[in-house]
Amino acid sequence: MERIGFIGLGIMGAPMAQNLIKAGYYLHVYDIDHDRTIAVASSGCSNASSAYHVARTSDIIITMVPDTPELEQVIWGENGIIDAVRPDSLFIDMSTIASSTAIRMHDALVAKKVQVLDAPVSGGQTGAEQATLSIMVGGSKQAFDRALPVLKVMGKNIVHIGGPGAGQMAKTCNQIIVALTIQGVAEALTLAKKAGIDAAKVREALLGGFAQSRILDVHGQRMLDNNYQPGFKTHLQRKDLNIALQTGNELAVPLPGSSQVAALLDALIARGDAELDHSALAKLMGEMSGID
Ligand code: NAD
């Protein structure tokens, strides 16, 4: 069995790493937050003191960090992996970053004779815990085939989208749909509340019709409960729309819906709600409508 190094043990990374441990893999874990490293290591694996240390001892390195600057730190920063990766190892970044950054990362590591995949995920904390993530993969077929047994421990729907960066491009598309759907559900449930009808019954009725979606189901319930514990943090959703808007700009694709939701997320962040779940768009809608 290949030895796995796992870097980034937050809301997503911790349960993903734990599923690999349960499946019998030997794991070496690291998070910049030492307490998180120790918490995961205590469930049956060894802890590392740096990304460098992880790369030195692993056949497969997986990263699950918030954004591009953190990933750059893991790769090129002090005690980063770039001077430690072993030739013939496999690097899988599962964070959500821009496709262009994924390609830059790919080229730098391939020059070190490392196989590289971008493999962002969808399915949230529950998907990570239940190992039902949808995983969108970019990179060579050879690297994909090597990674597949490991990815199958963390996810169910695993699709090789195309070459380097293709997984991240698919994830950008995913995040547009997620953000706009959350905003749609938030607007609809706010309207129902303001009209004085039972918003819980509206959700129940709509779940059986054409407006049915997992977001109406899961986030609709969060909105009814006013429960905005993350989940997926508002500032990370904003980061993903930034990627979408930049990509749209580069490819000359107007994304008017994404622009509007990005502005609403900016308003939430400006109010101090960056760490709330992205479904907190409903909190903002409620406040703007004078009902919360
Ligand atoms: P999180 O903030 O809970 O966890 C990120 C972890 O990375 C933290 O524990 C942090 O300490 C660690 N970290 C940051 N910089 C580091 C570094 N230089 N070295 C080592 N560790 C470092 O975030 P999350 O919700 O787990 O999301 C992780 C990634 O997955 C993001 O790119 C996010 O967009 C994506 N994602 C999240 C969800 C979700 O529902 N939470 C769903 C799909 C995709």
Q: Tell me the per-residue pLDDT of 152-202, one tens digit each, with 9 for 90 and over.
A: 999 999 999 999 999 999 999 999 999 999 999 999 999 999 999 999 999
pLDDT greater than 80 at residue 261: yes
Q: Where, residue-wise, is CATH 3.40.50.720 in the chain?
A: 4-163
pLDDT digits (tens, 9 = 90+) for 224-237: 999 999 999 999 99
CA of 234 relative to ligand 1 center, distance in Å: 13
The whole-number pLDDT of residue 20 equals 97
Phi, psi of 71 (to 5 degrees): -65, -40
- pLDDT score of 1: 87
Is ligand 1 within 6 A of the CB of residue 236? yes
Other CB atoms within a 10 A radius of the CB of residue 220 amount to 26
The structural architecture, per CATH, of the domain 170-288 is Orthogonal Bundle (1.10)
Model confidence at 33: pLDDT above 90: yes
Q: Does residue 112 surpass a pLDDT of 90?
A: yes
For the chain, give the mean pLDDT: 97
Nearest to 246 by CA among 264, 260, 258: 258
* CA–CA separation, 169 and 242 (whole Å): 13
Read off the pLDDT of residues 95-108 as tens digits, 9 standing for 90 and up.
999 999 999 999 99
**Cα(125)–Cα(147) distance, rounded to whole angstroms?**
22
Query: What was the pLDDT predicted at 212?
Result: 98
Round to whole Å and give the CA distance between 271 and 229. 16
Out of 16, 19, 29, 32, give the residue to mutate to test ligand 1, the one with the largest number of ligand atoms within 8 Å of its CB: 32
Residue ranges matching CATH 1.10.1040.10 in the chain:
170-288
Could you tell me if the CB of 28 is within 6 A of ligand 1? Answer: no
Q: Does residue 7's CB lie within 6 angstroms of at least one atom of ligand 1?
A: yes
**Which conformational region is residue 243 in: left (phi greater than 0), alpha (psi within -120 to 50 degrees), or beta?**
alpha
| Homologous superfamily in CATH for domain 4-163 | NAD(P)-binding Rossmann-like Domain (3.40.50.720)
Is the beta carbon of 70 within 6 A of some atom in ligand 1? yes
Q: What is the mean pLDDT of residues 111-117?
A: 97
Residue 112 in contact with residue 45, Cβ under 8 Å? no
Q: Is the pLDDT of residue 279 over 70?
A: yes
Which residue in the list 112, 152, 156, 171 is annotated as catalytic? Answer: 171
- What digits encode the pLDDT tens for the residues 123-162? 999 999 999 999 999 999 999 999 999 999 999 999 999 9
Name the pLDDT band for 292 (thresholds 50, 70, 90). Answer: low
In SS3 terms, the chain reads as: CCCEEEECCCCCHHHHHHHHHHCCCCEEEECCCHHHHHHHHCCCCEECCCHHHHHHHCCEEEECCCCHHHHHHHHHCCCCCCCCCCCCCEEEECCCCCHHHHHHHHHHHHCCCCEEEECCEECHHHHHHHCCEEEEEEECHHHHHHHHHHHHHHEEEEEEEECCCHHHHHHHHHHHHHHHHHHHHHHHHHHHHHCCCCHHHHHHHHCCCCCCCHHHHHHHHHHHHCCCCCCCEHHHHHHHHHHHHHHHHHHCCCCHHHHHHHHHHHHHHHCCCCCCEHHHHHHHHHHHCCCC
Query: How many angstroms does the Cα of residue 80 sit away from the middle of ligand 1?
Result: 17
Give the separation between CA 238 and CA 160, rounded to whole angstroms.
Answer: 26
Q: Is 171 in the active site? A: yes
Q: Is the CB of 60 under 6 A from ligand 1?
A: no
> Which pLDDT does position 43 carry in this prediction?
87
Q: What is d(CA 167, CA 260) in angstroms, rounded to the nearest whole number? A: 25
pLDDT tens-place string over residues 198-215: 999 999 999 999 999 999
Model confidence at 67, pLDDT cuts 50, 70, 90, reads very high
What pLDDT score does 151 carry?
Answer: 98
